């Protein structure tokens, strides 16, 4: 197939006519006609998608819209066959892999959603789940295009998992199925009255989605490049400090027997394009709603803020900041995010046993907190330690009291500097 201007104009004209004819008009009655019309005109249109007339809507966008109408027609077939869906799947994969369509996330999400529905009709559950994984992947890709360097707090009970994460300088990721809010993350399922389809979507994101939850009183920062700093706005006016939240201590830190850890994460933790490994991860603030969840089932579409970043209003006290990790291929195993040099401070609960405090301080005594500003300048600080005490000025509240540095930390630092000096002297003598 030769790529020439005349052929390009012909394809463009045919696409315009097809879209105009069937937009919002695909039904069981005309499904066969839509499919036949599409297959006759653009079975070999992919090579042209990189060619565009500046005055026209990009050709890949037009083709994607036409392909979406075609996929809707396949969904509307009275009797759908393996052959029908395999042909549709081939078209979608060609569109997906084309360089020109790299950022057509919305179209790809809808196409794979329709593909999943079609495989479901034939009871091909494994293929349906794969399609729904791609559907969710592209929904998530279109939801965030910014990396952040947030300050966030995480309440933890004292467990072996906590000690391991401190030793390894990592933070574990959790499946939404373990969350204490039963209505957390399943909202996307409400769009499907078919219980089996909801189950397949649930399986898709249970395989691929992991989340780490934090608390932050401030919205995610946005950069002020002139000043070389990040700007933040408060989520709720007059909020108490994150580490003083009594409900968070009760619910997530074993009623003050655990800790609250303050993190400052680098921009590099964010991965927005998915890459070759099919992994994307980013921070996003959770929003809160007092509305009945059933309202979402009445919509024809849903955005990702509603699907994965919406909770009931009763959880507003958490001021939750969420780190979302999505692995398209759903590789098994325990997942974590790196947190090297990210800990800024540790707050010990009122009832945290002394031996637990000593253990944590011993692990972290020679660690540093590293800050990187927007200009790339690096500043290093020792990790600070605090203990929570009763606020005698305000009934029912707590405050933080700074603790002295762990014993031996300064000594070790001096020893390290002496060793470095001696190595330098020895090196000079040898030369």
At 159, give phi and psi (nearest 5°).
-140, 170
**Entry pTM:** 0.81
Cα 69-106-187 angle, rounded to 5 deg: 105
pLDDT-wise least confident of 50-59, 99-108, 237-246, 340-349: 50-59
Chain centroid to CA 5: 42
In the predicted model, what is the mean pLDDT of residues 354-365? 96
d(Cα 80, Cα 57) in Å, to the nearest integer? 32
How do the domains of the chain map onto residue ranges? 5-141, 151-414
d(Cα 123, Cα 140) in Å, to the nearest integer? 26
Within 122-169, residue ranges assigned H as helices are 125-141, 160-168
pLDDT-wise least confident of 44-58, 317-331, 332-346, 409-423: 409-423
Residues ≥6 apart with Cβ < 8 Å to 159 = none
In this prediction, residue 184 has a pLDDT band, given cuts at 50, 70 and 90, of: low
Beta strands in 286-377 (DSSP E): 287-289, 310-312, 320-327, 336-338, 343-348, 368-372
Residues 281, 325 contacting (CB under 8 angstroms): yes
d(Cα 343, Cα 357) in Å, to the nearest integer? 16
Percent of the chain with pLDDT over 90: 50
Q: What pLDDT score does 120 carry? A: 95
d(Cα 39, Cα 70) in Å, to the nearest integer? 9
Per the prediction, the chain carries an average pLDDT of 84
pLDDT-wise least confident of 75-79, 207-211, 249-253: 207-211
**Rg of the chain in Å (alpha carbons):** 27
Kindly list the distances between the CA atom of residue 403 and the CA atoms of 137, 354, 358, in Å, as whole numbers in the listed order.
Answer: 45, 13, 12
In the predicted model, what is the mean pLDDT of residues 304-325? 82
Three-class SS of 294-311:
HHHHHCCCCCHHHHHCEE
Per-residue pLDDT of 238-260, as tens digits, reads 889 999 999 999 999 999 999 99
Paired sense of beta strands 343-348 and 384-390, if any = parallel
d(Cα 382, Cα 343) in Å, to the nearest integer? 9
DSSP state of 369: E
Residues 17, 34 contacting (CB under 8 angstroms): no
In the predicted model, what is the mean pLDDT of residues 183-204? 68
In the predicted model, what is the mean pLDDT of residues 76-80? 93
At 381, give phi and psi (nearest 5°).
-135, 150
Whether residue 173 has pLDDT greater than 50: yes
d(Cα 310, Cα 329) in Å, to the nearest integer? 25
d(Cα 399, Cα 233) in Å, to the nearest integer? 23
Whether residue 311 has pLDDT greater than 70: yes
Q: Give SS3 for 108.
A: helix
In this prediction, residue 193 has a pLDDT band, given cuts at 50, 70 and 90, of: low
Q: Give SS3 for 214.
A: strand
Q: What pLDDT score does 420 carry? A: 45
């Amino acid at each position: 197939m030769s790529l020439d201007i005349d052929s390009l104009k012909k394809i463009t004209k045919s696409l315009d006519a097809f879209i105009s004819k069937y937009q919002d008009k695909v039904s069981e009655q005309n499904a066969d006609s839509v499919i036949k019309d599409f297959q006759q005109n653009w079975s070999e249109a992919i090579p042209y998608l990189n060619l565009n007339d500046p005055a026209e809507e990009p050709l890949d966008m037009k083709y994607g819209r036409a392909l979406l109408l075609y996929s809707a027609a396949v969904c509307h077939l009275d009797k759908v066959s393996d052959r029908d869906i395999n042909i549709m799947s081939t078209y979608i994969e060609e569109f997906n892999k084309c360089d020109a369509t790299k950022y057509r996330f919305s179209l790809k999400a809808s196409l794979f959603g329709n593909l999943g529905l079609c495989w479901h009709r034939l009871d091909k559950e494994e293929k349906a789940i794969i399609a729904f994984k791609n559907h969710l992947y592209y929904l998530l890709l279109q939801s965030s295009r910014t990396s952040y360097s947030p300050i966030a707090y995480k309440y933890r009970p004292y467990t072996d998992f906590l000690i391991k994460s401190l030793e390894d300088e990592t933070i574990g990721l959790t499946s939404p199925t373990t969350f204490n809010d039963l209505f957390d993350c399943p909202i996307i399922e409400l769009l499907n009255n078919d219980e089996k389809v909801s189950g397949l979507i649930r399986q898709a994101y249970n395989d691929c989605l992991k989340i780490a939850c934090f608390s932050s009183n401030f919205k995610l920062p946005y950069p002020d490049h002139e000043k070389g700093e990040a700007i933040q706005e408060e989520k709720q006016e007059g909020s108490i400090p994150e580490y003083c939240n009594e409900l968070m201590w009760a619910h997530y830190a074993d009623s003050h027997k655990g800790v609250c850890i303050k993190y400052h994460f680098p921009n590099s933790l964010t991965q927005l394009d998915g890459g070759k490994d099919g992994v994307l991860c980013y921070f996003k603030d959770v929003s809160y709603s007092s509305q009945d969840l059933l309202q979402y089932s009445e919509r024809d579409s849903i955005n990702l803020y509603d699907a994965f970043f919406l909770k009931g209003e009763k959880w507003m006290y958490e001021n939750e900041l969420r780190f979302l990790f999505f692995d398209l291929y759903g590789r098994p195993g325990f997942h974590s995010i790196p947190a090297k040099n990210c800990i800024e401070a540790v707050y010990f609960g009122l009832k945290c046993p002394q031996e637990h405090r000593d253990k944590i301080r011993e692990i972290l005594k020679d660690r540093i907190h590293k800050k990187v500003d927007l200009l790339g300048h690096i500043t290093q600080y020792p990790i600070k330690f605090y203990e929570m005490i009763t606020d005698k000025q305000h009934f029912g509240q707590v405050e933080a009291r700074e603790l002295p540095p762990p014993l031996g930390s300064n000594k070790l630092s001096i020893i390290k500097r002496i060793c470095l000096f001696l190595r330098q002297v020895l090196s000079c003598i040898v030369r």
